[in-house]
Amino acid sequence: MDTQIFKDMGLDEGEAKAYLAMLELGPSLASSVAKKTGIDRSVTYKKLDDLIHKGFASYHIRENRRYFQATDPKELLDLARDREHKLEELLPELRSLQKPRTRETTVQIFKGREGYKAVCNDILRHCIEMGEKTVCGIAYTGEAREKLGVWYDTWTRRRMELGIRRKYLVMQKTVGRYALNQPLTETRLLPRDLKFPSATIVYGRHTLVLYHEGEDTTGIIIDSEGIAYSNKALFEALWRKSGEIKPAAKQKKLKRK
């Protein structure tokens, strides 16, 4: 099983293996978990204690021995949401500690899978900050689900909870992708003679340039009201010139997938 989702939730490789082992074994002694995972027993005790502190495990005592048990997988989603809500509660205090930002244009560059997640999170965070409810995109590729896995589904649920809509102009090859068929998403087809190697997404003051090259992803966030305004105007002009995607075309593309 791919353990990346557990790493995203703050577990290291050993902790993830121990958690999965406990799911299979049920209430178990540390020695049983160590044997199942192949991790040294002394290290296993440390991993189990860390899992308990992180909310991924618990234990009970029987005959003076500790039996460890994995937290029910259904509870992990609640655990993740609880952590997110606690962070949201801390945001005002954290922002009060932050050095005031100037309003001059700034540029941030993000790379790889973690960078892709960072720019996705920036979309939600900045929309909340600016009171923005619509994200506009030109030539969005719809590759988020393929590159980010189930993390993207969690992000989508969060976007839906916030009521953030997406309006995307896409190329023909993109029609039917999973990411583009999510709720609160409206798409139109760019003119066939327009080809874009990168996507441009505008939300609030931010303009995100997203470029995929093989397995690598580069995200460039430009914080500028003027640049965002220009790209939003370009989007609106292209939106008026772009055609609606017929349901039949969507279905045909989906079948090919």
For 49, the enclosing helix (H) or strand (E) is: helix 41-53
Q: For the whole prediction, is pTM greater than 0.95?
A: no
pLDDT at 136: 97
Residue 54 has pLDDT above 60, yes or no: yes
Residue 186 neighbours by CB distance under 10 Å: 13
Q: Give residues with Cβ within 8 angstroms of 193, minimum separation 6.
A: none
pLDDT at 30: 93
Domains in the chain: ranges and CATH: 4-74 (1.10.10.10), 101-256 (3.30.870.10)
d(CA 19, CA 146): 26
* pLDDT digit string, tens, across residues 96-114: 776 666 578 899 999 998 9
Asked if 33 and 44 touch (Cβ cutoff 8 Å), the reply is: yes
d(CA 224, CA 105): 5
pLDDT at 141: 87
